[in-house]
Amino acid sequence: MSDRDSWISNLGFVLAAVGGAAGLGNIWRFPWLTAGNGGSAFLLVYLLVVVGIGVPGLLAEFVLGRCGRQTPTAALRSLTGSRWGSWLGAFNVLTTLVILSFYSVVGGWILRYTLVSPVGTYFGQPQQYFGAMSFGLEAVAFHLLFLGIVAAIVFFGVSHGIERVSKVMLPGVVLILLGLAVWTATQPGTAAGYAFYLSFDADYLAANFLSVIGPAAGQALFTLSLGAGVMLTYASYLDDNASLPRDTLVIAVSNTFIGVLAGLVVIPLLFSQGVDPGQGGPGALFVALATAFATLPGGELVATAFFATVLMAAVTSGISLLETPVATLVDSFGVPRRRATVLVTVLLAVTGSGLALTSPVFQFVSGTLADLMLTVGLFAFTVIVGWLLRGEALAEFRAGTDRFEWVARPWLLTVSWVLPVVVLFLLTNTLASLAGMSLGFGGRALIAVVGTVVLAVAVTSGSWSDRLSSS
């Protein structure tokens, strides 16, 4: 593994990881999910999930990545000493392929809007324009163009491609979003938008908690790229001097800041123009904002800046998703990086084109299926770190850091018990909703607790426990 690519600097890793997380999940998905789930109520639950699940979960994935020093299939096989580790790694790679298949379709939408915004092509009839371009042969063409941009960056590797682009694009995203947030604050009629977004609504949360927790948790996992092996892959290129707790905290805070900042641009702007922020679902960013841009002085300029920002964020996330299957072919099968990039890109061109042609399948894959796969992946990571590795995980946690020593054991306790219970609750919540089952909060919580205990006993009493205790 000595000739394996690596980050030039720790800053490059942090920027790439933040860029990989802070993409369409923050700027496309977060505002319309927030608006459609009670505004401030959703924001509060989302922030709590990020702190309680996202941060320790992200750190667990980083520990797996640096400890394994390989991509998911090989790393998890080595760390678990079992064939199921390879299957889990393959599942992680499949998850990235599923996500990037629909992600590149949305990236194509963003690319198209960026190109036509300077002349305001969609200002006149935003709903009709989005409806005509979102699915069909034109959507396929822009999906392929966006995918080609992402592939060109991954083609040149970690240090010369991903790191260099992330160092430029991520600061650009933050600066433009800050400028747009300041500009939005000067628009008339934004007070109601800020109140909806920032003023806590306890009554709404009490009445709708179970319907809010699912989307909020799914968004937290999606925006932090947890459970797909993306962050595991990025951490596999780190050296032992990097402080994983510090980097995790910086990445999680930066990613959350970008999401909240995007909400401060989108939601008040929609309120200022009298547009319902919850309308349109996944198309809200395009339809509702286009309506607002059309009525603003200099709307073409504002629209161009906004969609260019979203495009940069989408590209940085796209390259993190593409890197995992490409690196898997490179590390596990010895395929040259450039050939691996071409092979995976061709596959994604086909799968993404299928989603760009069929709206119902796109809706299912981009929502329910993606959230389920990420939840399953994160649950498996907590099992490996919290119940199988334990001592090895603590040693990896402590490598490169002294300042966070006091957090090590509380973190392991959280990963071992708190995360599995919460993640299994979320999984039960989603599956029960899909099956149309009527399970209250107590029933779902009981299933999560009992399931966690039973699985913990089964795993820790098996042959893995003997293997790890002797290592």
Q: Are 183 and 31 in contact (CB under 8 A)?
A: no
- Whole-angstrom Cα distance, residue 241 to residue 234? 15
Q: What is the pLDDT of residue 4?
A: 61
Distance CA 289, CA 266 (A): 7
Counting beta carbons within 10 angstroms of the beta carbon of residue 55, is it exposed (0 to 12), middle (13 to 18) or buried (19 or more)?
A: buried
The gap from C-alpha 167 to its chain's centroid, in whole angstroms, comes to 19
pTM (2 decimals)?
0.88
Distance CA 415, CA 270 (A): 39
pLDDT of 471 reads 42
Inter-residue contact 266 to 310 (CB < 8 Å): no
Six-digit token string for 164: 């260099």
What is the predicted pLDDT for the residue at 8? 67
How many Å is the maximal CA-CA distance in the chain?
Answer: 70
Q: How far apart are CA 301 and CA 304, in angstroms?
A: 5
- The domains of the chain, with CATH numbers, are 10-373 (1.10.4160.10)
Cβ atoms within 10 Å, residue 172: 15
**pLDDT values of the chain reduced to their tens digit, one per residue, 471 residues:** 445 666 767 777 777 777 766 677 787 778 878 888 889 999 999 999 998 888 999 999 999 999 998 889 999 999 988 888 999 999 999 999 999 999 999 999 999 999 999 998 888 888 889 889 999 999 999 999 999 999 998 887 666 667 677 777 778 888 888 988 998 898 888 999 999 999 988 889 888 887 888 788 878 877 888 889 999 988 888 888 889 999 999 889 988 998 899 889 888 888 887 777 666 556 666 877 787 788 777 889 988 988 888 888 888 888 888 989 998 999 889 999 899 999 999 999 999 999 999 989 998 898 788 888 988 999 999 999 999 998 999 999 998 777 888 899 999 999 999 999 988 988 887 787 777 777 777 888 899 999 999 888 887 776 554 544 444
* Amino acid (1-letter code) at residue 457: V
Closest among 428, 464, 423, 434 to 82, alpha carbons compared: 464
Distance in angstroms (rounded) separating the CA atoms of residues 120 and 118:
6
Indicate if the alpha-carbon torsion angle 304, 345, 329, 384 is positive or negative.
positive
Residue 153 has which token pair? 């960056």
